[in-house]
């Protein structure tokens, strides 16, 4: 039976933990951003107050979370290909996730 080095197990545990935590955070942030539009009046035409705006502010953090996972995976694959440690892929994914959250913040603020 093959045994995995502790570095691989630590990377996998860290990646899965951050993926689950990021998903929960993205869902909660998107829900809060969509709920922030409840105070909109029916005749308001600001972007977050439209139906499209509500959908965007809900789905943008979740989309950013998915992109962060994919980007982190691609960075990790390139690092493995060049025989370098995969750990820099984690901050790369975190930066992409944070960019999605910041973009959602600016979309939701009116």
CB proximity list for 16: less than 8 A, separation 6 or greater: none
- pLDDT per residue as tens digits for the range 54-82: 999 999 999 999 999 999 999 999 999 99
Which pLDDT does position 6 carry in this prediction?
64
Query: Is pLDDT above 50 for 1?
Result: no
Q: How far apart are CA 44 and CA 77, in angstroms?
A: 47
* CB neighbourhood size of 71 (10 A): 17
Which range is least confidently modeled, 45-49, 81-85, 90-94? Answer: 45-49
Q: Percentage of the chain with pLDDT > 90? A: 65
Q: For the residues 40-67, what does the mean pLDDT come to?
A: 91
Q: Which of 96, 100, 52 is nearest to 74 (CA)?
A: 96
Average pLDDT over every residue of 2-14: 73
Contact 64, 99 (CB under 8 A): yes
Task: Check residue 26 and give its pLDDT.
Answer: 96
Given a cut of 50, whether residue 42 has pLDDT beyond it is yes
pLDDT at 41: 84
- pTM for this prediction: 0.85
Domain range summary for the chain, segments of one domain joined by +: 23-108
Per-residue pLDDT band at 110 (split at 50, 70, 90) = low
Closest CA to 54 of 38, 42, 43: 38
């Amino acid at each position: 039976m093959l045994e995995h080095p502790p570095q691989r197990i630590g990377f996998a545990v860290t990646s899965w933990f951050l993926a689950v935590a990021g998903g929960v955070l993205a869902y909660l942030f998107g829900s809060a951003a969509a709920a922030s539009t409840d105070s909109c009046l029916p005749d308001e035409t600001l972007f977050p107050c439209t139906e499209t705006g509500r959908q965007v502010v809900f789905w943008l953090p979740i989309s950013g979370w998915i992109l962060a996972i994919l980007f982190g995976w691609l960075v990790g694959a390139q690092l493995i290909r060049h025989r370098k440690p995969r750990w820099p892929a984690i901050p790369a994914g975190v930066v992409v996730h944070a960019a999605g959250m910041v973009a959602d913040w600016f979309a939701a603020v009116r």
